[in-house]
Amino acid sequence: MFNGIHEECGVFGIYSPDDTSVAMQTYMGLYALQHRGQESCGIVVNDSGVFTYRKDLGLVHEVFNKDSLEALGEGNIAIGHVRYSTTGNSNRSNAQPLVVRHVKGPLAIAHNGNLTNAYELRTEYELKGAIFHSTNDTEVISYAITEQRLVCSSIEEAVEKAMEKIKGAYSLVVMSPQKLIAARDPIGFKPLSIGRLGSSYVVASETCAFDSIGAEFYRDVRPGEIVIIDENGLRSIDTHITPKPHMCVFEYVYFARPDSVIEGSSVHMARLKAGEYLWKEHPVDADVVIGVPDSGLDAALGFSNASGIPYGVGFIKNRYVGRTFIQPSQTERTNSVKIKLNVVRETVKGKRVVLIDDSIVRGTTSRRIVNLIREAGAKEIHVRISCPPFTNPCYFGTDIDSKENLIACRMSIPEICKEIGADTLGYLSVEAVNSLTGNDNCKFCDGCFTGNYPAPVPKEIPKDKFEFKIKKSAK
């Protein structure tokens, strides 16, 4: 519906020695992580080495109901996944978790992130006779782990060896017949945390998933760490650990829920800080500050608090319109923003409005939103963006487009301002966005703004790198 950045994926896992209701716990955890992906979801339950699973296209509440959760049976280990496709098309075969059965037993895996060498690894495995059933990076990781598991004495050793081959961004939950394993890439692009619920251990992409089931935050998985949870408790392998993560900065700007805490920093407080910095860098005389739901709201409140300009509710969001909303004609595509967002006219009519949003990618959505406010009677519209301009693609799991489709690569800021129909436009600086958390122990990946990536990047990674039409030879 919107030509903007999109969510990544969310992973969840639970090991519960005393409780067999892990399917319901996983369901609730995925519900809390739904914002990270709305294309598909799945749960795998482990009952003494017997894996039962369900996964499909759709939201968590669409794929699962009381009967389907009961059909997963009882077990004491489970993993789950919500998906937004940054690689691989949206179809049932790409839904996760993946379940693999090999000579040493079953294995289930769920993944958040993108590999930068997935194409090379997949080609290597295919030349050895491997058959792939999906077009996502996760199946490549499963082959890397399985290849090592055939010669290693344990699943954790196999994961450790596989991490020497896979490159890029990955936060993983892996389930074997007896163990739950969590692993994070050495750069630490994607978040992954550990929680406690009585005698149970939980791992999840965000701490808000712990709150949904009454678990308490224990600690973050460190960059490069492999965490093993089994009948003996929790232990870890630290051979790949690096000192500081380079977290994707968009976890704080856009992806994560405001009530989550990532690397010790509150997402809500980081967004308030973004609004405060926006005011300091781009002050303006205005009558009201409004935010674009949802991730622009906290930054708008921060801008209002810092400036003294009143905060107002500018939009009502229709939360029942999903990403699959059908837009068969150009007219309906043009009006799609009206269907998802409606302006509260009393807030903006006759006023000088500061509009806070998290990003501008292609510019089309921003233009439509500005037009909505203008049509509602706003006298002036001053757009403020809580991140710097996008000038480079992302290779690590954030769906940021190629340069030719990024408006900041084609236009200057004054030109973008004119294009979207605003009176003024201001972006948050790179320096400000890198200081949102005040956490010296966590650096950021800001390559989409600066072109400086914390890891080597390929020349290009097309979203459909594993899907292509056969070229017909000339007659």
Convert the pLDDT of each residue in 129-164 to its tens digit: 888 988 889 999 999 999 999 999 999 999 999 999
Q: What does the pLDDT look like over 55-71, one tens digit per residue?
A: 999 999 999 999 999 99
Do 56 and 65 form a contact (C-beta atoms < 8 A)? no
CA distance 324 to 307: 39
CATH of the domain at 379: 3.40.50.2020
Is 409 part of a structural domain of the chain? yes
Average pLDDT over residues 288-301: 96
Q: Please determine, for residue 320, whether its predicted confidence score (pLDDT) is greater than 90.
A: no
Q: Please determine, for residue 326, whether its predicted confidence score (pLDDT) is greater than 50.
A: no
| pLDDT band at residue 211 using 50, 70 and 90 as cut-offs | very high
Is 200 part of a structural domain of the chain? yes
Can you give the pLDDT at residue 329?
46
Can you give the pLDDT at residue 188?
96
Of 9, 41, 394, 445, the catalytic one is 9
302 lies in the same domain as 390: yes
Q: What does the pLDDT look like over 180-203, one tens digit per residue?
A: 999 999 999 999 999 999 999 999
| pLDDT band at residue 321 using 50, 70 and 90 as cut-offs | low
Average pLDDT over residues 321-343: 59
Q: Please determine, for residue 305, whether its predicted confidence score (pLDDT) is greater than 50.
A: yes
Can you give the pLDDT at residue 334?
52
51 lies in the same domain as 185: yes
Which helix (H) or strand (E) is 354 found in, with range? Answer: strand 352-357
158 lies in the same domain as 233: yes
302 lies in the same domain as 237: no
In this structure, the number of other CB atoms found within 10 A of the CB of residue 467 comes to: 12
270 lies in the same domain as 239: no
Domain of 335, in residue numbers:
266-445
The pLDDT > 90 percentage for the chain reads 78
Q: Check if 445 is active-site.
A: no
Average pLDDT over residues 84-95: 69
Is 431 part of a structural domain of the chain? yes
For the chain, the average pLDDT equals 90
272 lies in the same domain as 219: no
- Give the residue among 449, 37, 405 at the shortest CA–CA distance from 255: 37
348 lies in the same domain as 402: yes
Q: Please determine, for residue 32, whether its predicted confidence score (pLDDT) is greater than 60.
A: yes
**Between residues 350 and 132, which one has the greater pLDDT?**
350
Is 249 part of a structural domain of the chain? no
Sequence-ordered list of residues with C-beta below 8 angstroms from that of 128, at least 6 positions apart, any chain: none
238 lies in the same domain as 276: no
φ, ψ dihedrals at 232, nearest 5°? -95, 5
Average pLDDT over residues 264-292: 97
Opening angle at CA 118, ends 113 and 122, nearest 5: 140
| pLDDT band at residue 3 using 50, 70 and 90 as cut-offs | very low
Can you give the pLDDT at residue 322?
54
Q: What does the pLDDT look like over 383-436, one tens digit per residue?
A: 999 999 999 999 998 877 678 889 999 999 999 999 999 999 999 999 999 999
110 lies in the same domain as 167: yes
Is the peptide bond prior to 97 cis by the omega test (within 30 degrees of 0)?
yes
278 lies in the same domain as 412: yes
Q: Please determine, for residue 331, whether its predicted confidence score (pLDDT) is greater than 60.
A: no
Q: Please determine, for residue 23, whether its predicted confidence score (pLDDT) is greater than 80.
A: yes
Chain-centre distance of CA 309, in angstroms? 32
Can you give the pLDDT at residue 130?
86
DSSP string, 412-431: -HHHHHHHHT-SEEEEPPHH
Is 44 part of a structural domain of the chain? yes
Is 394 part of a structural domain of the chain? yes
Can you give the pLDDT at residue 18?
87
Is 470 part of a structural domain of the chain? no
> Whole-model pTM?
0.91
273 lies in the same domain as 358: yes
189 lies in the same domain as 281: no
Q: Please determine, for residue 468, whether its predicted confidence score (pLDDT) is greater than 70.
A: no
Average pLDDT over residues 8-33: 94
In this structure, the number of other CB atoms found within 10 A of the CB of residue 82 comes to: 32
Can you give the pLDDT at residue 475?
41
Is 250 part of a structural domain of the chain? no
Average pLDDT over residues 219-241: 97
CATH of the domain at 92: 3.60.20.10
Can you give the pLDDT at residue 438?
85
Q: Which one-letter amino acid corresponds to residue 236?
A: S
Q: Please determine, for residue 351, whether its predicted confidence score (pLDDT) is greater than 70.
A: yes
Counting the structural domains of the chain, the total is 2
Helices then strands (H, E): number in the chain?
17, 23
φ, ψ dihedrals at 372, nearest 5°? -60, -45
